Structure 1
């Protein structure tokens, strides 16, 4: 009967975008593989790995029970696991010196939570080929403020502050929210179209998009997933509306503008009366 016993265990190494790393295996006890301790999660069940011969993306699904100490419904709903890197391998748990066999790696795509369990789609590296090869022209800049294409120095354009008060401006999920900070922005509207990083509290590790700002008041495009506590530490990062006038006048960076503001578009004939 011993020849019918499977001694292979599947291991998942998951690294979130905020640096949190989780190691799980489908064995009934913890395993130490290459110096990493994989916690027992026997409820984790993967589907078959689809490996394409051509240029189609490799995909698979992983399903398992929600566990408050590892993967919780709150964190999944908040998007903490979105885009996390996943490396999957198999190892012979009966041999302490066994070398793990790599099965594939990718990122977490769509996540579904239902009846106390979750299902996550894992997309292989070939999925990157689905991205556009060339950029479409646009009057607005296609670079992000401060990246290597923009080249604006972000020193002095990031600021730490604490939340004094918060208010949801629209009821329901996805509604805007307003925060009152203990420090005002350096110039009017500096944080508009920027980002806010939560450094503490229930939202720690998440980011929020900033819609507008006025002094010490910051309006978020969507309320954060969890309640905001007074005094929580945040980092506010200056934003840009991606217009050539802003790039030239506010940042003196028109030479690196990644858009075509003067290129005629399909609305050329409708710009002037009588055209």
Structure 2
């Protein structure tokens, strides 16, 4: 590969499977079943890669154009964590190429019709905490393989239609089934239809109103707000306490916390646990 025929090509794959390819060459390149367009949808700065397991340091930037990466999708979080691969390629012979980066998109900032995204290398997951946490509250997520609770039927999950929305994060419902007040607090909301389909959020407050109405407040508004008539799925909330696991979910056999651990106050108290002579 000579300098005069060298180009860069990068592929971005979202979690939903959508794939986009870009190149800084002036013509389309095709390899690995991907068309890399000479488009300004995305470009990347020079990579700074260290040996060993340190995190690669780079940025991707580009325009929020309708035919590539749209501001609507960025705001909705659809590009968060997208897979990124970058090659140096000989545009006269695309089989002569070298993979120079593999990782994912990190934090995305937007300004004046453009975006800038952090590129995270393959070693980024090593920064996450590993191992089991010994804590009085449960470490499992409601319904996962360790919790084992089946979120089927309408006891712990429900599908319903939005009647109204306020400030992008307060959703109101009519003819809502009878649930205890606060049943969905700390739970999750998933949009099933409409322009916000696939987006999810965590429930902050769940208020039962008269005449079968319900108000659900989210901790943070969705990037694309649902509208009246959109269908959503609500899952009951879990505060990770042993009493909740037993009384609300009847699932204490799968509780993954340690409710009998002594508190920090007990551990730090003078002569805690000592025998008296």
The TM-score range, normalised by the shorter chain, is: 0.7 to 0.9
Tell me which residue corresponds to 1:91. Answer: 89
Conserved? CA contact 2:103–2:119, under 8 Å: yes
Conserved? CA contact 1:185–1:214, under 8 Å: no
1:82 is aligned to 2:80? yes
Structure 1 distance, partners of 2:181, 2:25, is 57
**CA drift at 1:244:** 0.6
Question: What does residue range 41-120 of structure 1 map to in structure 2 within 5 Å?
Answer: 41-42=39-40, 44-95=42-93, 98=95, 100-120=97-117
Tell me which residue corresponds to 1:37. Answer: 35
1:148 is aligned to 2:141? no
Aligned with 2:119 (options 119, 122, 125):
122
C-alpha distance after superposition, 1:141-198 (max 9, x if no partner):
1211111121112222443222111223xxxxxx852332554366654422111112
Structure 2 distance, partners of 1:22, 1:153, is 37
Conserved? CA contact 1:164–1:182, under 8 Å: no
Tell me which residue corresponds to 1:159. Answer: 158
**CA drift at 1:61:** 1.1
**CA drift at 1:264:** 1.2
Structure 1 distance, partners of 2:57, 2:128, is 16
From the superposition, tell whether residues 198 and 250 of structure 1 become closer, same or farther in structure 2 (CA, over 3 Å).
Answer: same
SS of structure 2 residue aligned to 1:38 = strand
From the superposition, tell whether residues 37 and 79 of structure 1 become closer, same or farther in structure 2 (CA, over 3 Å).
Answer: same
Give the gaps of 5 or more residues in structure 2. 209-213, 270-277
1:250 is aligned to 2:243? no
Aligned with 2:206 (options 206, 213, 229):
213
Question: What does residue range 226-241 of structure 1 map to in structure 2 within 5 Å?
Answer: 226-241=224-239
**CA drift at 1:122:** 0.8
SS of structure 2 residue aligned to 1:148 = coil
How many pairs does the alignment contain? 262
Conserved? CA contact 1:162–1:182, under 8 Å: no
C-alpha distance after superposition, 1:248-273 (max 9, x if no partner):
222222232222222112223899xx
Tell me which residue corresponds to 2:7. Answer: 9
Give the gaps of 5 or more residues in structure 1. 169-174
Structure 1 distance, partners of 2:10, 2:179, is 45
**Runs of 4+ residues over 6 Å off in structure 1:** none
Give the TM-score taking structure 1 as reference length: 0.82
Conserved? CA contact 2:41–2:64, under 8 Å: no
